Structure 1
Amino acid sequence: MEKTKIINDDSVNILITIDENYIKPLRVLLYSLRQTNPRENMTIWLAHDHIEVAQLEKLHQFVAQLGFVLHTIKVDTSLWASAPTFKQYPPEMYFRLLCGQYLPKTLHRVIYLDPDILVINPIRPLANMPLKGQMLAASSHMGLTGISQTINHLRLGTRQVYFNSGVMLMDLDMMRQRVDMKAILSVIQQYGKELILPDQDILNYLYGDEILSLPEEIWNYDTRDNIMHYAKSFGSVDMRWVMENTVILHYCGRPKPWEKSNSINPFIMLYQHYEQLLAISGL
């Protein structure tokens, strides 16, 4: 594990957990973060298991050019040997559940972001948001993809809102006290074959009552649900509203915006615009 450097108390701390397959979209995410937060101090915490040293060195150089600080932390995946994983859900997805154990004790809160994200407005308000005594803050996708909430209630016997784990504000001090590896492994053993979105299901099952609900159209906008947001708001949440108010666009599901596809998702063009800006930036 990398030695911890002095943490800038004024910095926005971002946690990413990926394998080498997601380095390219991570670069786009970080580039969007810099473009829309030009004067912010940012510290990026990257948890991984086996990204090659050469890849990490290139990533360190890229992040330094953006003006951010990068800490890489190698996490052993052997703890998750019994946990269900899939091609699109590698073992690294579980790292966020126990991030309080491997992030430095001097770090008290962090924003977790999935790599399939664009940040299109300032993120500081999320970093400073009061958690009102809750351990986490997250959004629930209640549109066309909200069916997972009903499925989760049936599968796991839960009753609270089903939260998406792709964007979370985390109180690390509370997580160090409350999140228990034995409890997580127990859920995996009991429900392993029924877990559809494994780490997200576990998060909701064990800690759903300790999550502050955030408005999804601002903090975790599922780009598949743009028609639903437009209809539910009687036309007020249109593209202009999103560009002015939404902070985080989340490209959930398939196809991903960096993949060749015939998707009609209007937000894919915006993602490809950031890809092109990064390509011509020379970074």
Structure 2
Amino acid sequence: MKEKINVLITGDDHYFEYAPVFMTNFYELHKNFEVHIYAFTDNMSDEHLHALTKIADFYQQKITYIQIKNDEFGALEAYKTGIERWPKQTYYHMLVADYLPETVERIIYFDLDILFFDDIWPIYSIDLQGNYAANFGDWTPPETFSWSQKRLGGFTNSGVILIDVAAYRDNQIDYGYFISIVEKLNEARPIVNKNLLPEPFQFFADQGLLYVALEGHYLYVKRDDVKHGVNRLEISDFMVHPTRFLHMVNRYGFWAKAHKQTFQTMLSDGFPELNFYYQKFWIKSELIVQNMNQFELLDFYNDEMSKLIGHSGVAYDLILPTYAWQAIPCDAELLAFETISAENEWLRFPFSELLKIKARHVKLHLVFRLSEDVQGLKLLTYAKNKIGGDNFKTLKIFDVKAEEPVVFDAEYEIDMRNRDGIAITSKAIQKSGVKLMIDALSVRDV
């Protein structure tokens, strides 16, 4: 008989945009388990209902949608809780005693900004030791917390919570109980921490409320196979370490970017390993839901992936048009630009964050063409200086023939004077309408 895992996800219709990738990732790693996902929501479109149902059916697993009353936790608007940043749906995991069927005695709640690398059974099946819930992390918390620290959430990160639903029911840990704690916290002196919220607040969203409400019955489990947050310095080694899941913590940072990015961004990002891993499940979810068919997937790879394989180290998404250059559509080329004035301006190709952190000696490979003859075209390296300007250093001067490919390879040391990227100047062009086609551009740590 398969072991059973109950999973809770919550949100509004916008947040459930990310659920197909989450579910595909989770189901793929739990094929030997009976998984039942419960989705708490006050608003979900037919489009997302269809998508999530289709994914669950594909894996022969279960999903149940539970409609939450629209006024649940609406009372938080009267309190200083940062409700504008953390909406009421953030608190819906506190409603398990109110809404889950009696047959559910244990459930694990996840935010949707999580990547799974292994099954979670060793986490799901732990002994709660009489506690009502458990939180997991890879840090060692202090033994005691001040009153303000407790209201900030103490040791917790509420993106992952293992809940004893039966204990919640037996001890009336329900909506009414949590609202009574909110009312008590409202009598305390507000916390001032502008790094979290611009205005004073009574507690730090759901994790502050949960810590205070469950104090004495909330277990913290230190585990090296659980990660909250991601460090650029460690990411290249991250994938080889035993990790069950990574909570990316930031809805508007890497995670949302990975969900919507192009392959250009993915290959130049500071987290390429995670990006490829995420995209694998995004593509499969699109195929399952039939937002993309096999032929579209093939075209996607042929058009986007094939011309980008091997190009790395450059943050393509940060190449900004200037008053002298504009980006133009390209076919076989990697990138294409056109001068729009006779002004002298640098077209910058910034290095990716990962390259800047790790590289000491780099190998540059550049292949480009111009639509017209140009004498004295300059290729430079650059870096920000201490007063906010740029230091430039000439790397090469080219005499370019129209439409003839220029191939340039160079190796050089990376330091504070050249670490930010390379640039091409329009000074030698001095006219509009000249096209620059980049056929290859990569910078590698050697």
TM-score after normalising by structure 2: 0.52
Partners in 2 of 1:195 and 1:141 — Cα distance?
Answer: 27
Output the CA distance in 1 between the equivalents of 2:98 and 2:2: 20
What root-mean-square deviation, in Å, do the aligned CA atoms of Structure 1 and Structure 2 show?
3.3
Q: Does 2:69 align with 1:76?
A: yes
| 1:65-104 matches, cutoff 5 A | 65-83=58-76, 84=81, 86=83, 88-104=85-101
Describe the shift of the 1:268–1:194 C-alpha distance in structure 2 as closer, same or farther (beyond 3 A).
Answer: farther
Counterpart pick for 2:43 among 39, 50, 60 = 50
Structure with the larger helix share:
1
In structure 2, how many angstroms separate the alpha carbons of the residues matched to 1:222 and 1:25?
Answer: 18
Distance 2:150 2:112 in 1: 30
Which segments of 5 or more consecutive residues in structure 2 lack a partner in the other structure?
Answer: 187-199, 291-446
Compare 189-198 and 199-208 and name the one that shifted more. Answer: 189-198
How far residue 137 of structure 1 moved from its aligned partner, in angstroms, is 1.4
2:270 aligned with 1:264: yes
1:214 shift after superposition: 2.1
Structure 2 partner of 1:275: 282
Matches of 2:99 and 2:2, distance apart in 1: 19
Q: CA deviation at 1:94?
A: 1.0
SS of match in other structure, 2:43: coil
Question: What is the count of residue pairs matched by the alignment?
Answer: 261
CA distance 1:203–1:263, change in 2 (3 Å): farther
Is the CA contact 2:51–2:289 (under 8 Å) kept in the aligned structure 1? no
Aligned mate of 1:206, from 196, 206, 213 = 213
**Separation of aligned partners in 2, 1:282 and 1:59:** 8
Aligned pair partner of 2:182 in 179, 185, 188: 188
CA distance in 2, matches of 1:38, 1:26: 18
TM-score (norm 1): 0.78
SS at match of 1:31: helix
* Counterpart residue number, 1:14: 7
1:139 to 125, 136, 142: 136
Instruction: State whether structure 2 residue 221 is matched by structure 1 residue 222.
Output: no
Q: 1:87 to 1:65 in 2, by over 3 A?
A: farther
1:96-132 Cα offsets, whole Å, 9 max, x none, are 1121221011111011111111121012222222111
- Percentage identity across aligned positions? 20
Name which of structure 1's ranges 160-169 and 247-256 shifts more when overlaid on structure 2.
160-169
**Bigger relative contact order (CA 8 A; separation at least 6):** 1
Contact 2:97–2:174 under 8 Å retained in 1: no
Measured in 2, the distance between the counterparts of 1:65 and 1:225 equals 34
Deviation at 1:274, TM superposition (A): 2.8
SS in 1 for 2:128: coil
Cα distance between partner residues in 2 of 1:142 and 1:255: 22
Question: Counterparts of 1:123-162 in structure 2 under 5 Å?
Answer: 123-140=120-137, 142=139, 153=146, 155=148, 161-162=154-155
Q: CA deviation at 1:190?
A: 4.7
| Cα distance in 2 between the residues matched to 1:47 and 1:160 | 23
User: Aligned equivalents of 1:202 and 1:263: distance in 2?
Assistant: 36
Q: Which runs of 5+ in 1 are unaligned?
A: 1-7
In the alignment, the residues of structure 1 paired with residue 97 and residue 29 of structure 2 have an alpha-carbon distance, to the nearest angstrom, of: 28
